[in-house]
Structure 1
């Protein structure tokens, strides 16, 4: 097939796609109007005939296309597998979609059942189709609409049952809400995450377009039809018509028209085409289908589409440059000219959001510095000021030493040298040099020129450039400069304790960022050297706190705690109360006591002290002060007497972040999530769900994937389960598992808690076999190495035994839970195990134990909404499963 034939088939397929959306009786007239060329019209007629030869599903029903709802034809009322089709909710060239309900366990479950119009399966196709849908059913990602199951009707027509998603197609969602560029790019990043996950599981989408991407009210993206294109090829690879039906001309990659083997580059093109649509307001090849010319950049297309003054022009201006570059690279004709992977494209989109240089553009100095200034104007100015004036600080410290005149002269040398570096940094091609280039020039000249005339001054310069590079995340350059500075200092005839202590401290900070144990070695050396000179109190405390933090990271918790207590005891005498160093010491000790489960009263007192120091140090309208308040909430809410104070601090933290942050910020996410957890503990579940959703929205905007962000997601799952929203809770649990996988926590207590929640939901839904499988799989694949008991997981096992009428097996589990979760424990985790214990005692005929348990429970049940359920005949069903 030559290029001309391919172009003709593409145009025929575009027309066919339009005709299939019409009733059969209207297609002939539409074909006459849209395809005046007889040869082209004949090709379309062949495709229509091939499409019409497929048999329809169920009980010798006619072809699906003849079941036109306007003529009363429908599959509503028919049954496929366990699904009863209720009503048609959509139709396209490849399938009709029905709302359906399950008539088997779990009875009443909703689904969207897609009946594929691919024709009866050929010999062997039945098995291929079932194998394929099993592969797709394993895809479990929050951005992918899950496939429940698939099957084949008696006449050979394949069908798929997937989750029924309440959402709006992505382009309509954006347009209806007037979504800005940042929001649209954020949605694209969510899609990229789902596609990257699919690619890692060897599944390619191949039909990315607006109608296959839904967005819910909370801004969460869901991709539909994963693998449908692949299924089409598997079922009837020999038919050109079917192969062409597996793509959408406006969004398909060139190699799809040529019939090339599928590859991830097709999805890179598809995501680029979708990005183009969201940014430019139209598909890259126009609403009429694929043309032969390369599309214009999105900024130019936007101008052509809307020439109104004002907003449209400003929009196009923001598209020009990086976003144009990203979209056009993804849309390159040749796969090898596109991004190498979905992750690479996502990285550039994220870089655009963060005002960092994208990798798809040549890294000119002017461009890189422009990006640096755009994202951190104040930080850039501060950095350059540090480079120019860093030596002044060295001079101010030096005058405190017995060699003041010598040290001041050295500071002058450093200052003059750095000023000369700035003056001699000739911009290439008339552009302003990047700050990192200036630092590299200074470091190189210090090694090559300054070291021969003034080694100490050269070490000063390399310490300054190394610390600055570290702040800019140039860890390799920072490490090289700092190690070179250390080499110079260690080679001097007489050691210089001030410089050695500082360079070791800087290396300790750097290796902490790298996550290596060398940080501990350098912090130990920093403390040893800082004690060998008359260092200011702030410098001594900084070194000691850093060493204690390093010890705690590597298991020396007792040593760390003792050192921090000594440091804090000496702060008043040193006269540095209320300083950042004082705050750092309080933070470190508080963290260690939390990890060691230290005395609660002392931890609460430390948090109150941190709050006081933080307000003095940062001021009342400051993010760090809000974070200090929010960080105290999890500790204070563990004591019922401090719950009102905990809520006061939580709400103040949220109010501050709402006041001072216009853009999503980590401190806002932490404050909001901690308030949500406190509300959930107080059984204010509806309000808690709202705050959890706000916090999760911030985390998603920031692409946070740490333990705090996942605990927020898990917390919302629990709250939604308590509110009876089981499907939404399962969705959060699926997202939680994805986050844990990214953090490589497949074997952890967090994962076991996730399994436990999933199993509890399954028990509540009456699917005990599924719950047993969940718990067994989790125990085998996800149990942490230490093997310690995990209360929620143990509770799920007890619930399963009770549901299977084996109360004798539940009894010892519940007895162990009662020992670690006494009645009245403020997190309310005690409530369900104790209520179940009453039920099990009754079921096993242990009347004395039942009476004892009731007596222990009564004083604590007065304030519990679950109080009346204690006297119910069926405690497991009558009492809240998620209190």
Structure 2
């Protein structure tokens, strides 16, 4: 097989990784322990064992570890008799000593401790000084994430020891493998580790050997920093060569490898390596070893976590690392110590800023980057006042660019800016003089005043009308939105860029889809896709949004095969084509696709997509926001399909509470959440609550939807069924009449038309004789059994109504 064969290359890569992992595991062991481990490896792969032995020998001869051969020391079983400790077993072995598990033996109280014993000759003054230095360092450190020093002394043979807090846990790397923690959990653990290091620095101590083996994570997920054996008091002015070169190559800083003086900057570098490993599961130069590894640390920039993670299927959050987290790791791991974070607190602050959705200082992002971060954090406030303020800022800048050709145009720009500021000021309570002006009223005033300006340039008027039309659309004010967007389109085509025209055309497509005018919506989407192909073929972000829109329309028109292809295409474009993408590009696409395949019966895959969408939304949509409300709705819907009543009730309750705070009463998303909440309450047997919610759905739906909208037939049939169930028959005919007006509209689901047919049959059954009752019951049973979606929604109610019909005299 040729050397370039992909299978050969993959086999070589896996072998190399296995070799590196074995080296990391064996190089800290004693010679006897190494021999035993090498024998085990040789049984499986003699060649690998030979390579590993050569690497271990080379690492020792390169001067990276102390060359002295440890002198065996006999440790008394009753270590420190006067202290009352009894040895139980050995826990581990390091470069300076052994760690033993012990317990109190004096009967005063029961407590297990870890005792570190100097594994050198007690007559070796150099090692005794180092051991004493570690004792002095540990005595300074009192922190919840640092194993505490409890006692110190010498056994009857003169062997010094340290009594430490015993941490019942596993090393950091094993914890990652066993617990498979989420990204937020990993970052929380990292912050705790970094806070422990920062505390050590404040106590004038540099650790200088931060690595997973020196960090234990207990059963509660709390990390504990151990082993200050090569730590250094920052007040010292020099260090011996043995001190500076007693290191772990894979976690060593460039200055440690080069033998230069080691400062707190070493800890910052090693924290960067630990963060890299927490984010990706691997160290930066995991494909190298021996001299090649050391050379890379000194001469090469490490890869970015996102680049490494994207090649690993085991890192589901790889795309979230790109940008900010890459920058944090890169700054911590700069080859030049002065270019790293000035202290650990600065690094912690950057990680916390990323977790809060704020700009990270390491990235030094521009205005657009910082603005995007700010908008994500403060969506709700900006939805009322900040939205208009953002428009003003954008308009002012654009106007200054577009209207700089003449004094007259500059005067026009000033007028528009003053107009928008005046509208914004009317929402300000300090200027409202006791009269509360809603966002809708402010927008209406803005539209009126824009139309009063007769001499606005086409480009400016088109931009203003498009922006205002988009806001009305998001407020579910469909009629006004349509007027704004239709009025804006000619201006955008005539005086704007191709992208301007595409944006307005697509906004019209979204509007028509929400109005239930699906044929028009599809025409607008396809027209927009044609414009992208002709004028902006490299705008993959816009193309992805358009394919997602076409998928939604196709789904509503009953073309599931087309919808499936278009959903997949949209997600693929964002994942593989869009550069500098942000997470908010992906979360809505995943949510829409999950909802689609949920309806098709693939509930497990839908659940997986929902989880991925939530993970993306943690970054793109932090805090309480409309996207999170939509995701909660879709997750609750999935839980209902899977018959997880507890999760469904929890998620739809959260979504409904959020919807009442975020959306106006007559808003499409609030209506959809109320509709699902009614379904959940009905399934739980709370028909009174379901009835109240369905009444709100229908009442508010008639405000924003035109007559015949698909959502109206759904609400009307469900409410009619509930009235029959609660024996309130008089209200049913009007609802059936309303639903009939929607029967032939594209987008009405088969479940809704079956429900309507069944309602008619049951009403006739109640009014007429036994033969009709029998037929109606048969229809009810066949409809319930034949449609899974229908079953989820209607089974509890229909069976009760059918029985009531059957028993009527």
TM-score by length of 1: 0.42
Larger gyration radius, structure 1 or structure 2: 2
* TM-score (ref. length: structure 2): 0.45
